[in-house]
Amino acid sequence: MSDLTAFWHPRIVELVGGGDPDDGAHDLNHLHRVWRTASSLLGDHPEADDLVVLAAAYLHDLVNVPKNHPDRARASTLAAVEAVARLKQIAFPADRLYAVAHAIEAHSFSAGIAPTTIEARIVQDADRLDALGAVGLARLFYTAGRMGSALAHPSDPTGHDRPLDDKRYALDHIGCKLAGLPATMQTAAGRRLGQARLVLLEDYRKAFAQEWGED
């Protein structure tokens, strides 16, 4: 971490507050994890501006729209606008504001905005990696519970003979979305880590189906 980023770190954390206190999948711990993962990815990319990555990692969820809300795809753009406004209030370096805003806009899967900078690629990877692995699994079921989804299909939990539907069945989200995330990673380290974390999810799905009593 550069000296400048070390100076801004506590100020950015204070700026974001506690994350979303009403959503355990997008609370301050999520933001800390995204920053830690992004920091590890920065190790392979010395050309990246770690201050931009820091700000975007902590401020990317300032506007958090539920996954089943019709405005979900606009959340990251709204978050970028809010982030720039807040950063200006604390005299954050103006020459980095555009890069921070782009990294926030591009982090969202729903928005479909392609990252065009290495900083945006790193933040996108770090956020998506938090949806995989053990923590990602916990976040999956937490979010599904908030949306009122069932745990799994009564007789075909892995979707052998039916279309997957992650709006109705939480376990389907692994096949519907999470299994495809490693291929979307923008960095080589992100792809490696994403694939490793996906193995845990796939093993869990097999164990779940066995215990569930799949027909």
Residue 185 phi/psi, 5-degree rounding, is -65, 140
- pLDDT at position 67 is 61
Kindly indicate the confidence band of residue 59, based on its pLDDT and cuts at 50, 70 and 90.
Answer: very high
Give the three-class secondary structure for 204.
helix
Count of CB atoms within 10 A of residue 208's CB? 16
Q: Print the domain residue range for 47.
A: 3-127
Q: What is the model's pTM?
A: 0.91
Average pLDDT over residues 20-45: 91
The one-letter amino acid at 176: C
Average pLDDT over residues 177-184: 96
Domain end among 63, 98, 127: 127
Kindly indicate the confidence band of residue 163, based on its pLDDT and cuts at 50, 70 and 90.
Answer: very high
- pLDDT at position 38 is 97
- pLDDT at position 19 is 66
Q: How many domains are contained in the chain? A: 2
The residue written with tokens 């992650």 in the block is: 166
pLDDT at 25 over 60: yes
- pLDDT at position 72 is 61
Contact between 159 and 172 (Cβ < 8 Å)? yes
pLDDT at 165 over 60: yes
On whether both 62 and 153 belong to a single domain, the answer is no
pLDDT at 120 over 80: yes
On whether both 46 and 109 belong to a single domain, the answer is yes
pLDDT at 46 over 70: yes
What is the CATH number for 191? 1.10.3210.50
The residue written with tokens 């980095």 in the block is: 96
On whether both 186 and 111 belong to a single domain, the answer is no
On whether both 151 and 69 belong to a single domain, the answer is no
Residue 162 phi/psi, 5-degree rounding, is -160, 160
- pLDDT at position 178 is 96
